[in-house]
Amino acid sequence: MTLFDHQPRIDRSRYNRTAPAVTAALHALGKAVDDSGLDRSLTELIELRASQINGCAFCVQYHLNLARQLGGIPAKLDLVAVWRDAGVFSARERAALAWTEALTLMAGNGVSDAVYAELQGQFSESEISFLTAAVGAINVWNRIAGALRFALPTIAEPAVPGASH
């Protein structure tokens, strides 16, 4: 069986209707991150990377769609899975991606002081707080959409500004 062979357990719109308070809370968190001043292209990169790590096909496609609509650079979108070796990411993007991986994988590895120090060199304390919230939120969405096997969005699915998932 491949990633695309299984049937959705629940459709996204049905989940939104059956758990509206959860959806509203996660949308509010996403809006707070969007309103923080962090660059949306950066947050889409970290949401894409966390979704890749977590194996959430819905979220990978969803965040690729959003990043493309925001004018994301195709080379970065294509290479985010191998960002350390790609040579196309800025120091700020690399710090955010390292932070995303550390938080997403923290159960097995913890979060190193070196990764945090690198992050502090690129982001303010406020930005770190919102970046951390963004990583936390996408990890929640990955578990919801991945476990319930949300049907993949189409490549052309329109994005709603300020609302993740």
* 154 part of a folded domain: no
Q: Is pLDDT above 50 for 161? A: no
Q: Establish if 162 belongs to a structural domain.
A: no
The verdict on residue 27 lying in a domain is yes
**Residue 89 belongs to some domain of the structure:** yes
Q: What is the pLDDT of residue 66?
A: 93
Q: What is the pLDDT of residues 13-45, one digit of tens each?
A: 788 888 999 999 999 999 999 999 999 999 999
Residue 3 forms part of a structural domain? no
- What is the per-residue pLDDT across 60-88, written as a single tens digit (0 to 9) for each? 999 999 999 999 899 999 999 999 999 99
106 assigned to some structural domain: yes
**Any idea what the CATH number is for the domain that residue 108 is in?**
1.20.1290.10
**Distance (Å, whole) CA 86 – CA 148:** 33
Q: Is residue 75 included in any domain, yes or no?
A: yes
pLDDT score for 159: 46
pTM: 0.87
In this structure, is residue 115 part of a structural domain? yes
Q: Which domain holds residue 32?
A: 12-147
> What span, in angstroms and rounded, lies between the C-alpha atoms of 47 and 141?
10
Q: Are 46 and 131 in contact (CB under 8 A)?
A: yes
**Mean pLDDT within 111-138:** 97
User: For residue 130, which of 36, 52, 58 has the smallest C-alpha distance?
Assistant: 36
If one counts the domains in the chain, the total is 1
